[in-house]
Structure 1
Amino acid sequence: MKLGLPRECQAGEQRVALIPANVARLRKKQLEVQVETGAGLAAGFTDEDYLKAGASIAASREQLLRDADIITVVNCKGTQFDELSAALKPGQLLIGMMDPLMQPQNARRLADTGATGIALELMPRITRAQSMDVLSSMATISGYKAVVLAAYRAPRLFPMMMTAAGTLKPSRAFIMGVGVAGLQACATAKRLGAVVEAYDIRPAAREQILSVGAKPVELDIEAENTETKGGYAAEQSDDFLKRQQQAMTKVLAQQDIVITTAAIPGRKAPILITQAMVEGMKTGSIIIDLAAETGGNCELTRLDEEVVHKGVTILGPANLPASAANHASQMYGTNVENLLNLLLDQQGQLTLDFEDEIVRDTVVAHDHQLVNARLRELLHLTESNPNLSQEAH
């Protein structure tokens, strides 16, 4: 069984799907690993590192994609998805982040090739799958980097300082949404010395906020439904969001740093901060919007742009994990390695057990069929006719 590790070609992507340490361990599974030259260079891993780990360097990208039984990438979207889907053939397995709930049509294109596609964002949130959960891994890095970015851009220092020139008060940081990214942001801001507060609609979040040294902000409004089956914050009604915005205005007016992390899988991000709320904030305050790629939690957010409104700076960075490519690749690679350990037997042969919840939930296309139930529902496909070649496009 041959595994191909191509270089990421999506703009701004510096991560690599497997690092040399992953390759060395996978080689014990009798897996032959071919690496495109320069695949890990942006993340700090040279071709020589991969050779020492037991991989070979492919003669060309075309040869790697043609000969591999398994192809694993990080960013399987945009131009990279277009290239890979054009090169795939029946029987090959493609593993990567595909944004399937926002771009389900790509799963149809994968099915047309006859290849099998695994979208890592669909990993079920069960205990057995935690070691394969790329979303949690990347969210950890996003939460950390958001605080570092805020500290770099803010006109105030984070910690309180007693100096000969007087006492400097600590910055106040507010985290909206305390999933994995939000909790890491709380912990990082606390370590840097800020006074940290956080808010989440889920009742269970209160203890989590306290556990990282932050103070929970409690609003006198009640959410209709707080949490989804997968552990994400549930989507709220427009009425609830309006009441939340009104109650949050006074909280935001006190902050120096605001980091928003609220996202709903497969949906546009909810607006938590309106233009009017921004106008009530202090001059010099910073908003880091981690939901920018799905529309943003702030009404004024522009993806990968800096917006300054009434003295408040709003940043909507794209792909923050790529800015910490070395550690992001280490975490991502370990997630992929653990998945491959599930899919490969001791002789390195691929087995897909669709009775296994992990396989059933993450495989989007297989043997010319779109097999994922969530994506079929999004695309309004009927169970009685799963063959895409017979479906109306």
Structure 2
Amino acid sequence: MIIGVPKEIMKDEKRVAVTPDTVKKFVNDGATILVQRGCGLGANFMDDEYRQAGATIIDDVAEIYKQSDVILKVKEPIFNVEKNMHEIDMMNRGQYLISFLHPANSYNHEMVRKMATNGIIGLTLDGIPRISRAQRMDALTSMSTCAGYKGMIMAADTLSKFVPQLFTAVGMLKPANVMVIGSGVAGLQAIATAKRLGAVVYAADIRPEACEQAKSLGAKVIDCGVPAEIAVGKGGYANRLPEKWIIKERESLRDTIVKMDIVFLSALIPGKVAPIIVTEDMVKEMSPGSVIVDVSIDQGGNCEITSPGEVVTKHSVSIQGIKNIPGQLPTTSTWMFANNVYHIINYLTKDGSIVLDMNDEIVASTIVTDGEKILHQGTKEAMGIA
């Protein structure tokens, strides 16, 4: 099996899909690894380290796509300006692509269609189920840990005031108020980071268990007003709420949101478009200089007016829609991601080749395209495909 690793070309993306350590593991398992020259520099992994681990360094990314059976990427394929063509168009029919594809998000729908048309077999890492046998493959949890920490640091850096309470010669400065919506892995890490920075922290989640975890970290929990039997789905994940309950959730959180200095948004529904919780009207009511960090932007965002991939100021509020916050911690996030990917490949490989068992929960949750058609249920729903 030949595994190809191109350099990531998304703006400001410094991560890479393999480390020298995982290259060595792949080579020991019998695989051939092709990595693009300089692919690991942003994460401080040098070409010589990859070469010493057994990888072949390739200058032309087109050759990597041409020669490989499997392509490993961190982020979804995009248009390659240098080659004047989309990364998908450099791939071969029947080739495997393993990456964070975020296929349910509307801005990736054309890319997903192109994958199906071009015969690509795509597996999305944001679909890995949170079950015990998939823990080592759970790249979403790994990256969410990074996003929760770094996202809160970014918010604090943007905020135009101190985060902790301070007593000065001219008087006391009150601590910043922080609201974390979505107390999953990213949200809990954001809560812990905000508490360490000295903020007064509030949290909200439609799942009672997630609220208890937020409370255990010192957050003041705001009731979303959604019954547990409606809120909690399979595996303890959040359900997609009917519109009347989403409206109820917004109404329950509104008064708290508009008083916050920082609002951290991380409410996600596995494989589906993220729910809109913060409306433009709410943003208009927030104090000038407030900050929103929308880490759910890869699945559409929790704020109605977040700009994907950008940091913008709207209604005097800084709204951060950076799509690759874990990429701001490239060394650590690459190490975590690369190990997750190694375990996925190891799990799927039989006798030196990838074999997909569609009855396997892990495969069924991650498969996006099978080389002919779109299979991912959340994507089909978002596209309106029966």
TM-score bucket (shorter structure): 0.7 to 0.9
The 3-state SS of whatever aligns with 1:155 is coil
Q: Which moved more, 1:228-237 or 1:42-51?
A: 228-237
Partner of 1:356: 360
Q: Structure 2 vs 1, CA of residues 329 and 247 (structure 1 numbering), >3 Å: closer, same or farther?
A: same
State the AA in 1 paired with 2:137.
Answer: M
Q: Contact between 2:165 and 2:175, CA under 8 Å: does it hold in 1?
A: yes
Q: Structure 2 vs 1, CA of residues 172 and 350 (structure 1 numbering), >3 Å: closer, same or farther?
A: same
Q: Contact between 1:307 and 1:314, CA under 8 Å: does it hold in 2?
A: yes
Q: Which moved more, 1:357-366 or 1:30-39?
A: 357-366
Q: Contact between 1:370 and 1:376, CA under 8 Å: does it hold in 2?
A: no
State the AA in 1 paired with 2:354.
Answer: L
Q: Contact between 1:179 and 1:232, CA under 8 Å: does it hold in 2?
A: no
Question: Partners of 1:329 and 1:354 in 2: how far apart?
Answer: 29
Partner of 1:389: none
Q: Contact between 2:31 and 2:352, CA under 8 Å: does it hold in 1?
A: yes
- C-alpha deviation, 1:111, in angstroms: 4.1
- C-alpha deviation, 1:115, in angstroms: 4.3
Q: Contact between 1:362 and 1:372, CA under 8 Å: does it hold in 2?
A: no
Number of residues paired by the alignment?
379
Superposition TM-score, scaled by structure 2 size:
0.87
- C-alpha deviation, 1:193, in angstroms: 1.4
The 3-state SS of whatever aligns with 2:163 is coil
The 3-state SS of whatever aligns with 2:214 is helix
Partner of 2:21: 21
Aligned counterpart for 1:85 among listed residues 85, 88, 94: 88
Question: Partners of 2:159 and 2:379 in 1: how far apart?
Answer: 45
Structure 2 unaligned residues grouped into runs of 5+: none
Question: Partners of 2:115 and 2:214 in 1: how far apart?
Answer: 41
- C-alpha deviation, 1:190, in angstroms: 0.9
Question: Partners of 2:286 and 2:87 in 1: how far apart?
Answer: 46
Aligned counterpart for 1:327 among listed residues 311, 332, 337: 332
Question: Partners of 1:360 and 1:233 in 2: how far apart?
Answer: 19
Q: Structure 2 vs 1, CA of residues 296 and 37 (structure 1 numbering), >3 Å: closer, same or farther?
A: same
Q: Structure 2 vs 1, CA of residues 241 and 68 (structure 1 numbering), >3 Å: closer, same or farther?
A: closer
- C-alpha deviation, 1:283, in angstroms: 3.8
Q: Contact between 1:138 and 1:332, CA under 8 Å: does it hold in 2?
A: yes
Q: Contact between 2:206 and 2:224, CA under 8 Å: does it hold in 1?
A: no
State the AA in 2 paired with 1:3.
Answer: I
Question: Partners of 2:111 and 2:343 in 1: how far apart?
Answer: 25
Aligned counterpart for 1:315 among listed residues 312, 320, 328: 320
Within 5 Å, give how 1:244-323 maps onto structure 2. Answer: 244-265=249-270, 267-303=272-308, 304-309=310-315, 311-323=316-328
Q: Contact between 2:4 and 2:34, CA under 8 Å: does it hold in 1?
A: yes
Q: Contact between 1:269 and 1:295, CA under 8 Å: does it hold in 2?
A: yes
1:365 aligns with 2:355: no
Partner of 1:143: 148
Q: Structure 2 vs 1, CA of residues 352 and 245 (structure 1 numbering), >3 Å: closer, same or farther?
A: closer
State the AA in 1 paired with 2:102.
Answer: D
State the AA in 1 paired with 2:97.
Answer: L
Partner of 2:346: 341
Aligned counterpart for 2:178 among listed residues 170, 173, 177: 173
CA RMSD of aligned residues (A): 2.8
Question: Partners of 1:36 and 1:48 in 2: how far apart?
Answer: 12
The 3-state SS of whatever aligns with 1:234 is coil
State the AA in 2 paired with 1:359.
Answer: V
- C-alpha deviation, 1:230, in angstroms: 5.0
Question: Partners of 2:49 and 2:243 in 1: how far apart?
Answer: 53
Computing the radius of gyration over CA atoms, which structure comes out larger, 1 or 2?
1
Partner of 1:232: 237
State the AA in 1 paired with 2:28.
Answer: K
Question: Partners of 1:79 and 1:198 in 2: how far apart?
Answer: 38
- C-alpha deviation, 1:307, in angstroms: 1.6
Q: Contact between 1:173 and 1:257, CA under 8 Å: does it hold in 2?
A: yes
- C-alpha deviation, 1:18, in angstroms: 0.8
1:99 aligns with 2:102: yes
- C-alpha deviation, 1:148, in angstroms: 0.6
Q: Structure 2 vs 1, CA of residues 21 and 158 (structure 1 numbering), >3 Å: closer, same or farther?
A: same
- C-alpha deviation, 1:34, in angstroms: 1.5
Question: Partners of 1:155 and 1:373 in 2: how far apart?
Answer: 43
- C-alpha deviation, 1:287, in angstroms: 2.0
Q: Which moved more, 1:229-238 or 1:60-69?
A: 229-238
Q: Contact between 2:369 and 2:375, CA under 8 Å: does it hold in 1?
A: yes
State the AA in 1 paired with 2:313.
Answer: V
Partner of 1:58: 58
State the AA in 2 paired with 1:357.
Answer: E
Q: Structure 2 vs 1, CA of residues 245 and 87 (structure 1 numbering), >3 Å: closer, same or farther?
A: closer
The 3-state SS of whatever aligns with 2:74 is strand
Cα displacement string for residues 314-347 of structure 1 (whole angstroms, at most 9, x for unaligned residues): 33323222222222211211110010111224x6
Q: Contact between 2:127 and 2:270, CA under 8 Å: does it hold in 1?
A: no
Structure 1 unaligned residues grouped into runs of 5+: 383-393
Superposition TM-score, scaled by structure 1 size:
0.85
State the AA in 1 paired with 2:274.
Answer: A
Q: Which moved more, 1:76-85 or 1:11-20?
A: 76-85
Partner of 1:4: 4
1:187 aligns with 2:192: yes
The 3-state SS of whatever aligns with 1:225 is helix
Question: Partners of 1:198 and 1:68 in 2: how far apart?
Answer: 45
